[in-house]
Structure 1
Amino acid sequence: MKKLLYVLIGIIIVVVLGITALVTLVNPNQFKAAIAEQVKKQTGRELDIRGDINWRFFPTLGLSVGETTLNNPQGFAQPNLIQFKQAELSVSVLPLLSHELDIGKVRLDGAHVFVQTLKDGRSNLDGLTEKSSTKEVNDSTPSKANKDAVSNVQDEKSTASKVTTQPWKISLAGVELINASVDIINDKTASNIALNKVNFTLDKLTPNTWTKATFDISGSANALKFAAKGSTELSLSSAYQLAELKNLDLSLTAQDGKTEIKHAQVTLDHFQYGQWATVNLNIDGQLPELAFVTKGQTQFKLSSDRNILTLENLSIDNALSGKALPRPKMQVNIKTNASYDLTTKTATLSKLNLNADELALMGDVSFINRDVPVIRFNLSSDNINVDNWLNKQHGQVSSEKPAASDQAANNASTEIAASTAQQTSSQSASNTPPAIQEPDLSVLKGIDVDGTIMAKKFTISQAHLSDVKLSVVIQNGIAKLNSFTANLYKGTVNASAQLNVNTPLASYQFHNQIKGVEIQPLLEDVANNKQLAGRANIIVNLAGKGLSSQHLKNNSTGTINVNLTDGAVYGVNISEMIRSAKARLKGEKLADSQKQKKTDFSSLTALLQLGQGQAKIDNLHLVSPLLDINGSGTTNLNNESLNFSVDTAIVASGKGLDELKGITVPIRIKGTWQQPKYQLDLKNLFKQNSGLEQKAKKELNRGLEKLLGDKAKDEKIKNVADQLLKGLFN
């Protein structure tokens, strides 16, 4: 026992004496020049160790290095690529005998890294690896003089390889990074990333063993300032690659003057390649005129080859508020499964369920990240009401019509608002009046879209459609509505269109066919107009340039072919107008008519020709059992005025109209779309009907005889009657 004790004491004394001799006899600072020289050979950069290099021998053998810098080449914004105030590294000696590399805690204080890419593409990282790799290639190529030596070494290695070598076991007591900073500048892209505070700690690190890491980082990315801190536990494989991660807890804040992330929290339970993990997300933020609170959860998996990221049961709930929304507050929820393929840069959303308040969309979406993004979708909905989201003040629509005074006040407010908007616009970069201001559709030039949307119910401009299906394609700045089909007021609609935004004024083509649609409820919903009824068959072919309201009215050309059956024109009873005219001719008292003011017809056809801001009709034709009407005229699309002439022929006998069968009665229609005015054109009545004037004179004279007796034959009375007749019909 005593001998063993003496041996141990001797070993300890030898070790102590060896360390003492090492510390006292070997000054590590004498290696500064040699270290700098080797760095110069490997990188071409100057290494400057200004601080002292000191031995550390308790509890492990190591070194402490003072202030050190590795410089940049000339022409970069900062002189040093890397610099630090203090670095410490230690290694346990005895475990080395057992092929164990036991590294103590690595500590780095005040480290700063500066990386810059110049406008010409040069970087201060260039050459750091090239010299090293070149040297390795040169060293690996034996000269002729050393071929024999190399051959002998290879023989020795071949012999040694037959002996089983014990693998090294490496462990790290920990890492501590204190007050580090990083600057990454790219002059080509005008980007600037600055990490002005980086604190990082890592507990003891051994393969296949859990260790804890904490971090606290703050900095900026261009105008965005951010701060993040958190902790996690990780485990490395025997090859010292990340194998597992658990209990991640990350909090983040960010702002750039326009956007603010007040608080963001991300948690992850357990991550392992090829295995499912659960992530929770909470964000409270503010965008310009939009505040949001987002909560999300998903299970995700990164494939073992690290190429495919899969999300299942992704659920994101957004509470939104602000002026940027069509409503003061909105609730937008998303549920879907998703995946992203890193090799093809393809993202897919399957079983998508998007809810924005009462709007719900379901389907599949895919996105390929290319120079021109590729978007594909197939969506459906039970009910889409476009009016709830467009041109509505916070989505609220009053069903009551305004009183006249209220309407006047609204008009005055509108004029004031328009005046204010015009003044504001004149002070801005663009002075284009809203009526001719074109929408910015340049985004259509940079996307590739192909998709379909189906809706059981669809509302737009107060028109109600059902069983809607549309197919859209956007490529190379050309948007095509390949097909649009729907049921519309007991009929059907089928449309197609094309929009080309590659020209200064966007050009468009539109084709629409309506079959069997009840026109009165459609007009009542769309235009609050009940003046026309019937079952409509309409074919529309239009083309033009410009999408502003003024360009649409003035530049649209094409035809609208209208065919209405079994209908009526409300607001005018042509039969009663003719009866009244007949009564006036006979001098009879007009009877008060209790009939509704409408003119029934069995068919109504018209061909509208659009151009130069007008719609022209040459062949209006209305057929009814009593009347045959032909008309022509124009309407101005800008002021909505009417100027039509309609010739009405009595084609059948009717109450009070027996004597007028075969007579054509002209009617003038003026006014506006909302308030048309109908007037019997008596001046042309006699021009179009020979002998009618004589009948009128005869009836007038007969009435005068009844009234005046023999005095009616007096020449003066006859002259007065003639003047009265001319004044009546001219």
Structure 2
Amino acid sequence: MRKLITTFAILIAVLVAGMTALVLLVNPNDFKSYMVQQVKKRSGYQLVLNGDLRWHVWPKLSILSGPMSLTAPGAAQPTVTADNMRLDVELLPLLSHQLHISNILITHAVIQAIPESAAQSGLNTPIAPDDPSSLSPTLGHWSLDIARVAITNSLLVWQDPQGEQLNFRNLTLRLHQDETRSGHYHLLTALTRNQQTFSVDLEGQMDASHYPYKLLFSVDRGHYQLQGVSLPEQGIEGDTSFNAEWSPMSSAFALTNFSLHANDSDFSGEANGSLAPTLKLGLTLHSQTANFDQLLLSHTSLSSVPSALPHHESTGGDGVEASHVRTPVVVEKNNRGFIDWLNQSDISSRLTADQATWHGVTVNDLVLDAHNVLGVMNLHSLAGKVGGGQFGLQGEVDFRPELTKVQLQTDVQRIPLEIVQPLLQLPSVLRGAISLQGQFTGQGLQGKDIVTQWQGQSSVELLGLDIPRMNVQQMVIDAVTRASNRVNADPKIHPVIPNMQGQFTLSKGQLQLTTLEGENDQVSLNALGNINFAQKNLDITFNLLTRGWKGDPSLIALLANEPIPLRFYGPWSHLQYALSVDRLLKNNFKSRVQQWLKDNEKTKNSSSGQ
């Protein structure tokens, strides 16, 4: 044991003596001009090392520098500036006049990726061919080799093609490369903008053997997090991986094998495009589950909306108590920044999702196929399945005005009214399903904009329509039986509103029913009138021909041939109705008396003639 300790002591003494001798005999400032020339020859960049270089022997043999800067050819500002730099060198190669730098560590650096720091070349300056042999040049009898580069606690200033500067703070980049400029990297940084912070932690492989013509890299392990205002309380975070190709000279990029998880959403696919002169992006994505309420919306609130159940007017019928229901309202965050981004971009996208959530609505088999050019989006298809029905939209959306303009063709089949009414910020008083085929133009994308700022015309079909606690056919039956004891309804009949088809027009917040009619075994029904969404009132009259009566044959014949009008009118918060059965019966009695008088007169005339 004593001999082992003695051996280690001798080795340590020799190492200390060797490093001491190196510090005493080799002046690190002798390498300064050599490193400057090597950087100049290998990259064209101008390296400036201010102050003297000095040795640092623990925990590694290193050369420390004072303030340094690295400037691209012809650039007005340096690309990299730092207060200090550490070069970890290998001891044995120094003895044979080789400077092997195993690691470069730069802390508290400022890296500028802005036009003022970009390389400037003359119009006739030739571009050298991509020569991997230039990676290990020699100058004099010194040789230079760098395997690792680390930048920690630094700042990256990047300016996008539109001129906006973004500051990536707390930047840490570690790069390990071989002689072919292929290797491994690890990147951590954070971007704060508009009171939101986006942080990333990426790790993968990189191939810079063809740089600056092409840079290949992969993200084998990536984690990100987005937090701040107008976001879910827990933020948006997840993992990502992809392969990428970047062409610096053309600002073109391509992503393949793309995978992204964001909270409980997932996306996979590919992307390609370019960053300059304007952003051009092509996206092909698929998702098994996409929750757009978390990814795109600030919040969904609830607001009390008055029910449109009627109050009885004195003309007849029983009063129906009004109720208040709470319905979700479409509340979108201030997304002008996103719209400005669309106005400056060329984006072609195709998104498919097995299941998506939007404003609390589950959409299956979602398809979005659109092409946006500088704020004008050609919507090839927006389709999906909802609540046993399906929808399809086509048209154009213009994001350039302050209030978005739309031109849409709609094909809606059997969508539940319980879904449609809250999205349009309408009282949830109807049940059933609706089908629409029409064309619309207008301004705005929120629910209230659709019903007040759009115009157009459409066919409509109402299926399985039901008004809870109110049935128009039963209201007529009750009114007739109260007005006359000569007829009564078949107790086996349970009134059901028939499916109804028709047409309507929408203009300046007013929906005009031009036709709406339906028929089943119990009733024939048609409706005319209008709904004013801006003023929240309506005036609609239903005309009913009811069947299944028992009693006086003449009165049954009357009810089967004379429609009974049922009118709903007034504001939604205090809706009233009028049902004039008495008038119909009085008219019938009057007509029967007149007919009796006519028949009696004819009898008298015929008797006198004889």
TM range (shorter): 0.5 to 0.7
The Cα of 1:243 is off from its aligned counterpart by 8.2
Partner Cα distance (1:577, 1:511) in 2 = 38
Q: Which residue of 2 aligns with 1:539?
A: 437
Q: Which residue of 1 aligns with 2:175?
A: 268
Question: Does residue 1:197 correspond to 2:83, yes or no?
Answer: yes
Aligned to 1:618: 514
Does the CA contact (< 8 Å) of 1:438 and 1:548 recur in 2? no
- Residues 455-494 of structure 1 correspond to what in structure 2 (within 5 A)? 455-494=353-392
Q: Which letter maps to 1:629?
A: L
Task: Spell out, residue by residue over 1:596-619, the C-alpha distance to the aligned partner (whole angstroms, 9 max, x if none).
Answer: 7x6321x30121211122111121
Q: Given that residues 49 and 69 in structure 2 are in contact (C-alpha distance below 8 angstroms), is that contact kept between their aligned partners in structure 1?
A: no
Shift of residue 245, structure 1, vs aligned partner: 3.4
Output the amino acid matched with 1:327: E
Letter of the aligned partner of 1:646 in structure 2?
Answer: F
Query: Aligned to 2:240, which of 322, 334, 338?
Result: 334
Is the 1:88–1:107 contact (alpha carbons within 8 Å) kept by the matching residues of 2? Answer: no
Could you say which residue in structure 1 is the equivalent of 2:207? 301
Report the equivalent of 2:549. Answer: 654
Q: What residue is the counterpart of 1:36 in the other structure?
A: none
What's the CA shift for 1:543?
A: 0.6
Q: Which of the residues 458, 464, 469 maps onto 1:560?
A: 458
The answer to which of 284-293 and 629-638 deviates more is 284-293
Q: Contact 2:106/2:151 (CA < 8 Å) preserved in 1?
A: no
Cα deviation, 1:576-609, whole Å, max 9, x if unaligned, reads: 3233222332369999x9997x6321x3012121
* Structure 1 contact 569–599 (Cα < 8 Å) conserved: no
Alpha-carbon distance in 2 for matches of 1:311, 1:368: 17
Q: Does 1:599 align with 2:496?
A: yes
Q: In the aligned structure 2, how far is the partner of 1:610 from the partner of 1:661?
A: 34
Pairing of 1:68-467 with structure 2 (within 5 A):
110=51, 178-179=66-67, 195=81, 197-198=83-84, 210-212=100-102, 214=104, 216=106, 218=108, 237-239=136-138, 245-254=146-155, 263-273=170-180, 275=182, 277-283=183-189, 289-291=195-197, 294-304=200-210, 306-391=212-297, 393=299, 441-467=339-365
Aligned counterparts of 1:570 and 1:639: Cα–Cα separation in 2: 24
Contact in 1 for aligned 2:67/2:81 (Cα 8 Å): no
Q: Which has the higher contact order (CA 8 A, sep 6+)?
A: 2
Shift of 1:645: 1.4
Q: Specify the code of the residue in structure 2 equivalent to 1:197.
A: D
Deviations 1:425-454 (A, max 9, x none): xxxxxxxxx999989733333211112000
Q: Separation in 2 of the partners of 1:377 and 1:339? A: 15
Aligned residues of 2:230 and 2:298 also touching (Cα < 8 A) = no
**SS of residue matched to 2:478:** helix
Asked whether the 8 Å contact 1:436–1:551 carries over to 2, the reply is no
Partner of 1:169: none
Give distance in 1, aligned partners of 2:175 and 2:296: 40
Residue from 563, 583, 586 that aligns with 1:664? 563
Deviation at 1:298, TM superposition (A): 0.5
For the pair 1:495 / 2:402, whether they are aligned, the reply is: no
- Counterpart Cα distance in 2 of 1:654 and 1:467: 48
**1:522–1:243 Cα change, 3 Å:** farther
Q: Provide the secondary structure at the position in 2 that maps to 1:599.
A: coil
2:531 corresponds to which residue? 635
Which residue type is aligned with residue 664 of structure 1?
Answer: P
Instruction: Answer with 1 or 2: which has the greater Rg.
Output: 1
Q: Is the 8 A contact 2:483 2:581 kept in 1?
A: no
- State the 1:343 CA deviation: 4.1
Per-residue CA shift, 1:35-78, capped at 9, x if unaligned?
xxxxxxxxxxxxxxxxxxxxxxx9899x99xxxxxxxxxxxxxx
Q: Distance in 2 between matches of 1:319 and 1:550?
A: 33
Name 2:598's counterpart in structure 1. none
Deviation sequence 1:181-208 (CA, Å, 0-9, x none): 7999x999xx898947355668688897
Alpha-carbon distance change, 452 to 696 in structure 1, aligned in 2, over 3 angstroms? farther
Does the C-alpha gap of structure 1 residues 677 and 574 become closer, same or farther in structure 2, counting only changes over 3 Å?
same
Residues paired across the two proteins, number:
490
Shift of 1:336: 1.2
Tell me how far 1:350 sits from its aligned partner. Answer: 1.0
Q: Distance in 1 between matches of 2:68 and 2:371?
A: 51
Considering only aligned residues, what root-mean-square deviation do their CA atoms show, in Å? 5.1
- Output the amino acid matched with 2:496: T
1:614 partner letter: Q
Shift of 1:629: 1.9
Give the Cα separation in 2 of the matches to 1:268 and 1:88. Answer: 23
* Contact 1:666/1:684 (<8 A) preserved: no
Counterpart of 2:316 in structure 1 is none
Change (3 A) 1:524 1:199: closer
> How far did residue 358 of structure 1 move?
0.2
Structure 2 counterpart SS, 1:578: helix
Q: Please tell me the residue identity of whatever aligns with 1:363.
A: G
Which sections of structure 2, spanning at least 5 residues, go unmatched? 1-23, 35-46, 53-61, 115-133, 158-164, 304-322, 595-610
The DSSP-based 3-state class of the residue aligned with 1:691 is helix
Report if the CA contact (8 A) 1:441-1:501 is conserved. yes
Assess if the C-alpha contact under 8 Å between 1:482 and 1:497 holds in 2: yes
- Paired residue type of 2:217: L
Runs (5+) with no aligned partner, structure 1: 1-57, 65-86, 91-105, 112-173, 225-234, 399-406, 419-433, 698-730
Residues 322 and 328, structure 1, Cα contact 8 Å, conserved in 2: no
| CA deviation map 1:267-319 (0-9, x unaligned) | 233333363x1112334676554456532210111234652211234321124
Provide the rounded CA distance (Å) in 2 between the counterparts of 1:313 and 1:179: 33
Q: TM-score of the superposition, structure 1-length normalised? A: 0.56
Query: Which whole-Å CA distance do the structure 2 matches of 1:246 and 1:436 have between them?
Result: 48
- Normalising by structure 2, we get a TM-score of 0.65
Letter in 1 for 2:579: L
Gap change, CA 1:618 and 1:317, over 3 Å in 2? same
For residue 680 of structure 1, report the CA deviation from its aligned partner. Answer: 1.3
Q: Are 1:496 and 1:510, in contact at CA under 8 Å, matched by a contact in 2?
A: yes
Where 1:572 maps in the other structure, the secondary structure is: coil
Residue 379 of structure 1 and its aligned partner are, at CA, apart by 0.3
> Is residue 468 of structure 2 the alignment partner of residue 578 of structure 1?
no
Deviations 1:476-526 (A, max 9, x none): 4311111123233333322112012455654320111123x2535645885
Return closer, same or farther for 1:283/1:382 CA change in 2, 3 Å cut-off. Answer: same
Verify the 8 A CA contact 1:107 1:176 in the aligned structure 2: no
C-alpha distance 579-694 of structure 1, shift in aligned 2 (>3 A): farther
CA contact (8 A) 1:641 1:672 kept: yes
Give CA-to-partner distance per residue, 1:333-364, whole Å, 9 cap, x none: 21111111234322111111111110111110
